[in-house]
Structure 1
Amino acid sequence: GPILQARGLTKRYGGLLANSDIDFTVNHGELRGIIGPNGAGKSTFFKMLTCEVHPTSGTILFEGRDITGMNVTDVCQLGLTKSYQVNQLFAGLTVRENLVIAALSALRGKFKLDLFRSIDSIPGLSERVQQTLELVNLTSRPDTPVSELAYGEKRRLEIGLALATSPSLLLLDEPLAGMSPRERVETVKLLKSISQGRTMIIIDHDMDALFELAERVTVLQEGRVLVEGTPEEIKNNSTVQEAYLGGVHGVLAA
């Protein structure tokens, strides 16, 4: 059944209509891709789903609960977490320390009176951090300062911060952006691995990688849903080819 349902999502900025009347449903265990040409409204739509931006109209249901108008911290506590396109890392801390901060936000919630309690005494913390290091292939780098990581490693750690909160729905904003060909191959392999038993939504401009990963793809154009379907259906859809390529047939399918 659905884990996330958006109905009639619309966002206006003054006279600018960024998104218009979007209906969007993702089921438990699904890996959904979102694509669209530049200016299609993908970023605004994604931010509405994570409550970074509130819709002008429409509703968002997460696990059957209306989260429309809630803030990012509260929806993260409910299990909806986003990994950002621009790394949101603590560069002066180590890999492990970054993951500890993320895991604590899930294990201890908002502000607690035991703020200065030793983290070693918090049940499940060490195990969660170690599991996350394994998930994102950083077990050899736990004590490395983030500032010394390669770009691809930083992107994996960014995904790890989201995973450390044990989300029931993980949204990834362009996880392959800026990567070398080798890093993209490694990260696609990583995303396939962590998608097992998880529900994920991914936006990325690398359509080949997204078609390889996603079970279904939603295409946005001019702030609306243009079409949804399997990767094969999307690749062979003439309307999608027109939106991306001005009607050059077969390029998406090549």
Structure 2
Amino acid sequence: MKIVVIGGTGLIGSKVVRDLEARGHEAVAASPSTGVDALTGEGLAEALAGASVVVDVANSPSFEPDAVLEFFRTSTRNTLDAEKAAGVGHHVALSIVGTRRLPGNGYFRAKVAQEDLIKESGVPYSIVHATQFFEFFPWIARTSADGDAVRLAPVLFQPIAAEDVAGAVAEAAVEAPLNGDAEVAGPERFRFDEIIRDFLEATGDPHRVVTDPHAPYFGAELSEESLVPGEGARLGEVRYADWLRG
């Protein structure tokens, strides 16, 4: 089966491509570096010819609220239109756990807009919602820093390894469309402030974590369960300590 992976050369996409190839499928990595740009539409028609499934794991180059909204709206519309023209039977997208709980978070608002376009498109779909990746810890700390302090709320946090996210996305791609959502998260729960503090200490980062119940996460104040999945979520296999050692 031919499966096109939009964003197929990135952190998650490259792992999805490898997983699908290991399962015996023809996986096509589609990104600007391979001549496929979902934002402009360049190369989409050619890449999607003969495809049964399209997986979209592309990410915006800018996290500025207006820019990220424009990216997901435009790239998703272009991809869905190309899928309809090519007769693609399944659209799989990667989103984030809790997108609809944090309307004050500009990135989450953009992902909600993407999800709505997919659901309204008429193309059979599956949306995989993942928790934050271990690999994003340095970025979380950097974007939450105020001088030498990193201010984070002591809320529940259930991060996941990128390879486990990719496995869940690849599995969704080879199964029948859900026409709904699924959640995937790491196997352990922590406190947001505590695990980032541990990570910074373990990696020799001089920033200090300050526990602040009102610390915003990209413009939105967090509640206890803003970032964790509900019951029935698929759990990854990679534990934090093992990922850190690796």
Tell me which interval the TM-score lies in, with the shorter structure as reference length: 0.3 to 0.5
Normalising to structure 1: TM-score of the pair? 0.32
